[in-house]
């Protein structure tokens, strides 16, 4: 374990996403590896050590390299740093999206630059008690969006203070404390409760980590960069409990509203450690949306299941299954499923390929299945 101790002196942060399925590596709480205790965002020094020596493949490193050598070269300048209070990171993620592959009449191809960020982390005190996180970058507007917003924005900026190892407060622009923070930000488990990669809010989050339990209470005033009438103000609560030492069961609730919409959501979620880096996780939930003047009053229901299997270090096979019913008072619903392959050939590089099939079920119509595949590249320094 010597190399893990030495890693506390690493200077520049290398980041992977907050994959909650890394519970398969034995980490029940995101605070083990992330400055944000609910996951996502830059890694701590320990988290980077895990990413370098357990997540990424070691096949491309020289055989004579020790784990300590791999950890040191994961720094921004590929060397041991000279101080311990500043971390920086540059991150890019893009993917090729192909819809209806093989169809002469309807196949479409599109390269999407999903993310290009620069991050600064300042940390002080014993065990990084006080942290400041600043993340500025590119966030593309959805196709056909009528909202006039800059594609370059602050994606998160907040300060955090751990009063004790068990309790901390965080204030600023952050992701909502809600549900499983899976990387598939277009999944129904993220879009339905409005917890996608661009749904950050300004607020204050309290976090408590017990021996077997973990609690989050998040009060927020919406995203202050938006016009006041559309800011979703409210709060969320998330709870998880460790069972049988290596599995997690949890629940989330949220209440938020602006001048036009009231959103009430709940979810039950679970993460199971299948050992050797493999995991199984799922989430089920409902989202009730009510608009003023009775323009809208409906409840949506969703379910998400993912298997995450690691045959060897750096390689993961995934299968995603999703269910979504837009209005539980009506019969139509859809099911989306597909396999995927995720590969970390070396630190700083993630490659991923996914195939998705979507089938709509409705008593009033019959629609042909739709197919698409994504080829994704994630690079960071």
For the chain, what is the mean pLDDT?
A: 87
Q: How confident is the model at residue 338 (pLDDT cuts 50, 70, 90)?
A: very high
Q: Are 50 and 33 in contact (CB under 8 A)?
A: yes
Q: What is d(CA 292, CA 296) in angstroms, rounded to the nearest whole number?
A: 7
Task: Name beta bridge partners: 238.
Answer: 216, 252
Q: What is d(CA 112, CA 8) in angstroms, rounded to the nearest whole number?
A: 36
| Multiple choice CATH, 2-380, 3.50.50.60, 3.40.50.300, 2.40.160.10, 3.30.360.10 | 2.40.160.10
Q: What is d(CA 247, CA 24) in angstroms, rounded to the nearest whole number?
A: 9
Enter the pTM of the model: 0.88
Tokens of 348: 């700083």
In this predicted structure, what is the pLDDT of residue 6?
35
Q: Are 237 and 164 in contact (CB under 8 A)?
A: no
In order of 10, 49, 110, 178, 213, the CA distances from 82 in angstroms are: 8, 17, 43, 37, 37
In this predicted structure, what is the pLDDT of residue 148?
58
**In this predicted model, what pLDDT tens digit does every residue of 17-61 receive, in sequence order?**
457 888 998 889 988 888 999 988 888 877 777 777 888 888 888
Alpha carbon of residue 105 to chain centroid: 35
In this predicted structure, what is the pLDDT of residue 234?
98
Q: Are 65 and 348 in contact (CB under 8 A)?
A: no
Q: What is d(CA 122, CA 13) in angstroms, rounded to the nearest whole number?
A: 11
Tokens of 136: 């500025």
Q: How confident is the model at residue 149 (pLDDT cuts 50, 70, 90)?
A: low
In this predicted structure, what is the pLDDT of residue 76?
65
How, if at all, do strands 278-291 and 247-257 pair?
Answer: unpaired
Range name among 1-5, 58-62, 118-122, 268-272 with the lowest pLDDT average: 1-5
**In this predicted model, what pLDDT tens digit does every residue of 349-365 receive, in sequence order?**
899 999 999 999 998 88
In this predicted structure, what is the pLDDT of residue 51?
79
Q: Are 347 and 53 in contact (CB under 8 A)?
A: no
């Amino acid at each position: 374990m010597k190399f893990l101790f030495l890693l506390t002196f690493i200077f520049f942060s290398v980041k992977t996403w907050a994959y909650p399925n890394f519970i398969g590596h034995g980490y029940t709480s995101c605070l083990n590896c992330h400055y944000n205790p609910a996951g996502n965002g830059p890694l701590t020094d320990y988290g980077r050590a895990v990413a370098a020596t357990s997540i990424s493949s070691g096949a491309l490193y020289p055989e004579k390299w020790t784990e300590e050598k791999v950890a040191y070269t994961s720094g921004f300048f590929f060397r041991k740093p000279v101080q311990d209070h500043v971390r920086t990171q540059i991150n890019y993620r893009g993917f090729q999206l192909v819809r209806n592959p093989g169809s002469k009449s309807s196949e479409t191809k599109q390269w999407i630059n999903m993310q290009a960020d620069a991050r600064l982390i300042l940390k002080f005190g014993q065990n990084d008690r006080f942290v400041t996180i600043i993340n500025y970058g590119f966030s593309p507007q959805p196709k056909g969006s009528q909202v006039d917003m800059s594609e370059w924005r602050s994606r998160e900026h907040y300060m955090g203070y751990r009063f004790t190892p068990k309790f901390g407060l965080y204030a600023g622009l952050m992701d909502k404390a809600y549900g499983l923070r899976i990387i598939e930000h277009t999944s129904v488990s993220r879009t339905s409760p409005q917890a996608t990669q661009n749904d950050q809010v300004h607020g204050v989050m309290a976090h408590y980590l017990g021996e077997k339990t973990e609690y989050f209470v998040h009060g927020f005033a919406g995203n202050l960069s938006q016009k006041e009438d559309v800011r979703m103000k409210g709060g969320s609560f998330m709870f998880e409990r460790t069972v049988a030492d290596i599995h997690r069961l949890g629940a989330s609730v949220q209440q938020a509203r602006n001048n036009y919409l009231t959103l009430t959501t709940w979810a039950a979620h679970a993460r199971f450690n299948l050992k050797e880096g493999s995991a199984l996780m799922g989430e089920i939930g409902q989202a009730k949306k009510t608009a003023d003047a009775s323009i809208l009053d409906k409840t949506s229901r969703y379910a998400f299941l993912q298997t995450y299997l690691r045959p060897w270090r750096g390689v993961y096979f995934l299968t995603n299954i999703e269910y979504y019913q837009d209005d539980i008072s009506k019969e139509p619903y859809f099911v989306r499923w597909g396999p995927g392959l995720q590969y970390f050939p070396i630190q700083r590089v993630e490659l991923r390929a996914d195939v998705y099939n979507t089938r709509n079920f409705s008593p009033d119509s019959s629609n042909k299945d739709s197919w698409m595949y994504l080829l994704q590249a994630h690079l960071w320094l």
